[in-house]
């Protein structure tokens, strides 16, 4: 499952959360620091990319 990084625009703190796409599209993301919903997405997700091309 991918882990997403988010940046709270209200308090400018970063946090990461593991969530499904459906959870994400519901917009149920709240900053754990200040409870703001003004969250920016940081799509540098921790996908487990394994490239076999060399």
State the residues that interact with Zn ion by CB under 5 A. 8, 10-11, 31, 33-34, 36
Closer to Zn ion by CB, 10 or 18: give it.
10
Task: Name the minimum Å distance from CB 51 to Zn ion.
Answer: 35
Closer to Zn ion by CB, 7 or 49: give it.
7
Where b means 16+ CB within 10 Å and e means fewer, 9-24 reads eeeeeebeeebeeeee
Closer to Zn ion by CB, 12 or 23: give it.
12
Residue with tokens 């990084």: 5
Structure tokens at 28: 């149920």
């Amino acid at each position: 499952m991918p882990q997403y990084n988010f940046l709270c625009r209200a308090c400018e703190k970063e946090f990461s959360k593991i969530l499904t796409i459906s959870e994400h599209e519901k917009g149920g993301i709240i900053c754990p620091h200040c409870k703001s919903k003004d969250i920016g997405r940081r799509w540098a997700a921790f996908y487990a990319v394994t490239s076999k091309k060399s």
